[in-house]
A and B are shown apart, each in its own frame.
Chain A
């Protein structure tokens, strides 16, 4: 019953007959283009000469008996229908509506949304930050991480065509993060977000880095750590000697075997001296008092720093009237014979730039200096220290100016000073012919300052006097002196300087192996090495390790396909010495303050 003659019902038309919509017979004419019913009249008569002819189709019964009306209208009419739109029109309308809706929503909640929703329009919300950043970046503070493109939609569109957003973000990252040594590092990524993707939610990893990315640059390719990773180096994991000259082999196998020191021997093995509770990349040693004092405490006070020793004068360099005026001591009339037979001490010689072998210089320079000290106390010495670039406050801390005057007055009167106090031999003292300092305990700040001063000025006489094992305090018998371009004394234990791009955490390994005795699984003492010999010169990179180098095979026992992970980043860092700037904490405090003020405001 379908008919191809009824041709107006095309799906690409705008309207369909309304009668068809209510399941009646659609009329032949169909709707008009404007959507009105075109089927009120059954046909549209045509005029032939002076007669109107009926044009009703044969399907509908052919020409009717009555024929057209005299005015040419069809004689058969029916009520008009309400044509309906085709599906195609509905599709177009829906699509247009959706497009308009998106534009409207983006305009309202994306471009101009800040007007209604504060700093961050909802349709610019890229997602939740990672916990590490959400704790320090305030809500609605896009500018903390993104470059400000300026106000208004046009500024934003301009930013699209000025693609420096990633570089701008990297700059913002560096507001908080620091990468000392990054410029010289082999790892110099262009932008932070190459590897650190943010706005991925609170449970997403902030670092996306795979082994393949390492292999893209590293020439020595391998499949897995266990199968083909290169062998470790000769002294692995160390690249320099320890800060403290401590020979495990000598202590365990020689000193603690001696009955005199046997009671100081570690009872619980490694953990007697190493603080397992603070284990990280290294397992730090316990304090001097816990580990070393039992045997080494007395050494500290065994020798004193000699600040001034009055030297022997060939002739009396001091005017008797001046001495009497300054010190109130009358000079005797005997022929001058210097009360001191000592040589000029190193510190005074260096500070006054006096040749200890030159009697003339001693007469002149030291004589003048002692008169100045007798007149002004410690000020002339402080002056000399300042000229040498040192902090006299630290070097002379606790030195009593009157005590110094008293001592010097005796000497310029060619007499020995009579020490006032014969009690504890600690701190600054005026002795018969010298001013000395004796360290009272480990970590004595005055003596430490003198060592640092001597290391810094690099004067041969001072270095020869202080930077040796039996020098006052005997500091460098244990603390290494390192020459890495500048001479410095390694005051802190640790800092052994393994490769900065290697990472290792002892703690989880200790949990696996068990504390104490299991350290030897990886750390085996090499009893053939004289570790102390490594400290007879000042280059920290020249050394023979106290321990047998750790071999890759030791790690492979666990780090293989079956047991622990063996990704590159399990053991390697990308950045070396990554850190934070202090301002980050201020920003966090600022955020917290704003939260508090907001909550107070809302109350």
Chain B
């Protein structure tokens, strides 16, 4: 967290200076009975364009355009700068006129998703680090398949060596659901322990029907289930870290496209 704040320091200072510079400029324009919204409007447009360049920069990884973490810090700070510019440009939270309202709705939505995204980007990796497991998002299906295959292999060995089917029946009726795919998605997002409670309930409930040999197999299954729990947490958090952009980026494009028409209207009718 301290690193993040440190990286944000310089962009924040730049943003604050830019904001007060533009604020002073537009205040002077207002005092001289000129239209201050021209100044704040173009300042906002420039900042929005810079924010969109962040997405382009990620695609141009072949070129040395600076460190990604610096770009991210600039994106965050300038995002808040855009909110400040919008506030003094529009003057109100909710403007008049259908189109202006749609534009404002888009802007506030992209701002909200941006803020949520920043919080996710800062908070979730720390929680994932705490799991002690590292796994790439794209590898999670393979990992879950491997865990499932390992559990089913243990059950075959158990049947062969113990001659009992209690564990197999428990797996077929209960545990197979758990190992089929990631589970307890929202539980991991909000940080509850529903998954562990569920596992404890269903693994311990069968323990009383097992003999000593079967119990050792159950312990092995439990270890795999606990690893599956960590993989599930990775899946849930990494999934959110990727999919919030499905809202943020399209809405950003929406705001950019709508801003063009807004500028056309302003210059055609008001300036």
Do B145 and A122 touch (CB < 8 A)?
A: no
Do B35 and A194 touch (CB < 8 A)?
A: yes
Query: In the assembled complex, which residues on chain A have CB atoms less than 8 Å from the CB atom of B148?
Result: 23
A509 proximal to B (CB < 8 A): no
B35: contacting residue among A1, A193, A215, CB under 8 A: A193
Do B271 and A126 touch (CB < 8 A)?
A: no
A267 proximal to B (CB < 8 A): no
Binds B, one of A99-107, A290-298, A327-335, A555-563: A99-107
Query: In the assembled complex, which residues on chain B have CB atoms less than 8 Å from the CB atom of A166?
Result: 35, 270-271
B31 proximal to A (CB < 8 A): yes
A195 to B264, CA, bound (A): 22
Do A11 and B137 touch (CB < 8 A)?
A: yes
Do A25 and B267 touch (CB < 8 A)?
A: no
B144 proximal to A (CB < 8 A): yes
A102 to B180, CA, bound (A): 41
Do A91 and B137 touch (CB < 8 A)?
A: no
B31: contacting residue among A23, A190, A216, CB under 8 A: A216
B141 proximal to A (CB < 8 A): yes
Do B32 and A216 touch (CB < 8 A)?
A: yes
Do A213 and B30 touch (CB < 8 A)?
A: yes
Q: Mark B29-51, 1 if CB is under 8 A from A, else 0.
A: 01111110000000000000000
| Chain A: interface residue total (CB-CB under 8 A) | 61
The answer to whether residues A106 and B261 also contact, given A23-B181, A146-B269 and a CB cut-off of 8 A, is: yes
Do B257 and A103 touch (CB < 8 A)?
A: yes
Query: In the assembled complex, which residues on chain A have CB atoms less than 8 Å from the CB atom of B264?
Result: 156-157, 160
Residue of B32, B99, B148, B251 with highest tally of chain A CB at under 10 A: B99
A592 to chain B, nearest CB (A): 25
Query: In the assembled complex, which residues on chain A have CB atoms less than 8 Å from the CB atom of B137?
Result: 11
B179 to chain A, nearest CB (A): 9
Query: In the assembled complex, which residues on chain A have CB atoms less than 8 Å from the CB atom of B269?
Result: 124, 126, 142, 146, 159, 165
A163 to B269, CA, bound (A): 9
Across the interface, name the chain B residue whose C-beta is closest to A208.
B30
B132 to chain A, nearest CB (A): 14
B261: contacting residue among A24, A91, A123, A161, CB under 8 A: A123
Query: In the assembled complex, which residues on chain B have CB atoms less than 8 Å from the CB atom of A83?
Result: none
A379 proximal to B (CB < 8 A): no
Q: Among residues 188 to 209 in chain B, which have CB atoms less than 8 Å away from a CB atom of chain A?
A: none
Q: Count A-B contacts at CB 8 Å.
A: 151
A2 to B135, CA, bound (A): 7
Do B246 and A87 touch (CB < 8 A)?
A: yes
Query: In the assembled complex, which residues on chain A have CB atoms less than 8 Å from the CB atom of B27?
Result: 212
Across the interface, name the chain B residue whose C-beta is closest to A169.
B270
A99 to B259, CA, bound (A): 12
B246: contacting residue among A9, A94, A125, A190, CB under 8 A: A94
The answer to whether residues A9 and B96 also contact, given A23-B144, A163-B271 and a CB cut-off of 8 A, is: no
Do A110 and B253 touch (CB < 8 A)?
A: no
Query: In the assembled complex, which residues on chain B have CB atoms less than 8 Å from the CB atom of A119?
Result: none
Q: Mark B143-174, 1 if CB is under 8 A from A, else 0.
A: 11111110000000000000000000000000
Query: In the assembled complex, which residues on chain B have CB atoms less than 8 Å from the CB atom of A2?
Result: 134-136, 139, 142-143
B257: contacting residue among A99, A149, A210, CB under 8 A: A99
B232 to chain A, nearest CB (A): 11
A433 to chain B, nearest CB (A): 70
Do A125 and B97 touch (CB < 8 A)?
A: yes
Q: Among residues 75 to 116 in chain B, which have CB atoms less than 8 Å away from a CB atom of chain A?
A: 95-100
Do B254 and A194 touch (CB < 8 A)?
A: no
A118 proximal to B (CB < 8 A): no
Do B245 and A127 touch (CB < 8 A)?
A: no
Besides A16-B138, A25-B142, A125-B99, 17 other A-B contacts (C-beta < 8 A): A1-B142, A2-B139, A2-B142, A26-B141, A94-B249, A102-B257, A106-B261, A110-B99, A124-B265, A156-B268, A157-B264, A160-B267, A161-B267, A163-B271, A190-B34, A193-B35, A194-B33
A-B contact pairs, 25 of them (CB 8 A): A1-B146, A11-B138, A19-B141, A20-B141, A23-B148, A23-B182, A24-B141, A26-B141, A87-B246, A91-B249, A95-B250, A98-B254, A123-B98, A124-B99, A124-B265, A126-B265, A146-B269, A156-B264, A157-B264, A160-B264, A165-B267, A193-B35, A199-B96, A213-B31, A216-B32
Chain B residues at the A interface, C-beta cutoff of 8 Å: 27, 30-35, 95-100, 134-139, 141-149, 180-182, 242-243, 245-246, 249-254, 257-258, 261, 264-265, 267-271
Chain A residues at the B interface, C-beta cutoff of 8 Å: 1-3, 6, 9-11, 16, 19-21, 23-26, 87, 90-91, 94-95, 97-99, 101-103, 106, 110, 122-128, 142, 146, 149, 156-157, 159-161, 163, 165-166, 169, 189-190, 193-195, 199-201, 204, 210, 212-213, 215-216
